[in-house]
Amino acid sequence: MKDEESSIVYLLKKLRDDTTALVRDEISLAKTEISEKIAITSRNVGYLAAGALVAYAALILILQGFSFLLGGLFILWGMNEASANLLGFLIVGAVVGVIGAILIVKALDTLKKEPLTPTKTAETLKEDKEWVQSKVP
């Protein structure tokens, strides 16, 4: 009888220790997964910002050229110079504004698709819960 009780006590202690170790491992996995996701997201946001700054400088020069070109066309069509240049810049500005809004929406949608929650850890926690429930009568 004592052997049975001691083996039951041993098994319960072993179950407790294994469960504690499992929970610690899951917490460690969650921390690692969250750190990886934050690092990837941060790096990509940095690349996005750097690329945007370089492209912005080039885009300003190109857009000024298009604005003056459009203004020149309006002058050829008989508009006075001030109105033609103003209209050229307004048209180019409106087109660029629409394109910019589309790009911002796309970038935000892409960032929202990558969840910051540790999905792998949540899955393994469910499996661990099922395992513990199957071991405890």
Alpha-carbon distance of 82 to 69, in angstroms, equals: 14
Q: Which of 6-15, 79-88, 100-109, 114-123 has the lowest mean pLDDT?
A: 114-123
Residue 2 has pLDDT above 70, yes or no: no
Count of domains in the chain?
1
Alpha-carbon distance of 9 to 3, in angstroms, equals: 10
Residues 6+ apart with CB under 8 A from 75: 81, 84
Residue 52's SS3 state is helix
Alpha-carbon distance of 82 to 93, in angstroms, equals: 16
The residue with greater pLDDT, 87 or 130, is 87
Residue 17 — pLDDT band, cuts 50, 70, 90?
A: confident
The range of the structural domain enclosing residue 103 comes to 2-135
